[in-house]
Amino acid sequence: MTQSRLDKLTASLLTSNLDAVILNPGPTLKYLTGLNFHLMERPVVLFVAPGKDPVLVLPELELPKVDLFPYKVQGITYGENPLEWDDAFRKAVQALGVDGKRIGVEPRQLRLLEFRHVKSGAPEADFPDASDVLADLRLRKDKAEVDAMRVAVKIAQDALEATIPQIKIGMTEREVASELVMQLLKHGSESEMPFAPIVSAGPNSANPHASPTDRKLQAGDLLVVDWGAAYDGYISDLTRTFAVGEVDAECQNIHKIVQEANAAGRAAGKPGAPCANVDKAARDVIEKAGYGKYFTHRTGHGIGMEGHEAPYMRGDNMQILEPGMAYTVEPGIYLTNRNGVRIEDNMVVTENGAESLSDMPREIRVVG
């Protein structure tokens, strides 16, 4: 599988305006190798160029990993003295003959640390953005990837279901988040989760990316829980909104509106439809209900090995959905200093439509 992924990348390089790409530890490197490398103070960089074996620069202590590669790779190591590291990168550049060439990079992943060493070894090279080539590589998930995401969804849902009975009025957001993290680990999530759970209640729930605080849950709050699990390198990213005790009529109403918007967004996904259609379907429901200005973000984003990756469900994105693409549908309404609602599901495009990997109840549920 990883050999076919490498072949696909090198084929893409031949049809792009790139002569090579460099990758440091992160999702794309793991996708291509099946191996985990640490992002640390010692740089690790894989050089890939068409027609030649990849070259991996790594510290001497990690040299045994070269033997674990699923295809032939040349390992070039360096010792503990940072003054000697540039020489290893110079050897890698010379092995592939890419100085003066166009070496693609991942701007969201490559650090200045690695870039400086590569630049020292290839002072005449250009370093264009290779995001599109690399995003396309991981854009369409195969069955094994979808199966891993399906497990990640189940772990997340089971963990929250185990947490719900523990939620009581008077608990702090941090306490709820701590219980949820423990349940995620108990139910099988990898320890490196896709993100720290968002647990926000009352006024805090009106902030889409709030962090848990010491605020105590109060009757009348809406409680937003945005959480996910990781399994075999793939993630889930879900959101449900609960009522803490009895909530007022408007809170019940905006929850119903968001629930309907979520259903519309989920129904809009299918092969051949632009991503913008998913955003429009969800947004139209909220706008027609008079809350359009309170839906302040895109309807969703791609998921897979990262919590946010292509494709993006926003109103101006005309990228066409294809089987295997996976993404979130997460409309929301946020009433500043009052309460907020978000309902998020994980979708994968099939041959005939889009399947929701998540099925946890979306109706408002009372906790506390």
Write the CATH number for 84.
3.40.350.10
Mark which of 137, 152, 169 sits at the end of a domain: 137
> 89 is written with which tokens?
């990168």
Q: Report the alpha-carbon distance of residue 368 to residue 364 in Å, rounded.
A: 13
Q: Tell me what the pLDDT averaged over the chain comes to.
A: 97
| CA 3 from centre of chain | 24
Mark which of 86, 118, 137 sits at the end of a domain: 137
Q: Are residues 132 and 184 in the same domain?
A: no
> 211 is written with which tokens?
């962090």
Q: Are residues 219 and 347 in the same domain?
A: yes
Backbone torsion region of residue 26, taken as left when φ is above 0, otherwise alpha when ψ lies between -120 and 50, otherwise beta = left
Q: Are residues 229 and 125 in the same domain?
A: no
CB of 348 closer than 8 Å to CB of 150: no
Mark which of 118, 137, 156 sits at the end of a domain: 137
Q: Are residues 165 and 114 in the same domain?
A: no
Q: Report the alpha-carbon distance of residue 215 to residue 253 in Å, rounded.
A: 25
Q: Are residues 67 and 154 in the same domain?
A: no
Q: Are residues 272 and 125 in the same domain?
A: no
Map tokens 């992943």 to a residue: 109
Partners of 327 in the β-ladder: 302, 347
Summarised one tens digit per residue, pLDDT across range 182-196 is: 999 999 999 999 999
CB of 180 closer than 8 Å to CB of 206: no
Supply the pLDDT for residue 8.
96
> Which domain, by its residues, includes 174?
140-367
**Across 128-152, average pLDDT:** 96
| pLDDT-above-90 percentage for the chain | 99
Summarised one tens digit per residue, pLDDT across range 19-32 is: 999 999 999 999 99
Number of domains the chain contains: 2
Sign of the alpha-carbon dihedral angle for 39, 45, 48, 49: positive
Map tokens 């139209």 to a residue: 284
Q: Are residues 8 and 107 in the same domain?
A: yes
CATH number at residue 291: 3.90.230.10
pLDDT at 1 over 90: no
Q: Are residues 132 and 144 in the same domain?
A: no
Q: Report the alpha-carbon distance of residue 16 to residue 4 in Å, rounded.
A: 18
HSE-up (13 A, CA, CB side) for residue 163? 27
> 198 is written with which tokens?
């968002």
Summarised one tens digit per residue, pLDDT across range 251-294 is: 999 999 999 999 999 999 999 999 999 999 999 999 999 999 99
pLDDT at 79 over 90: yes
β-strand pairing of 326-329 with 332-335 = unpaired
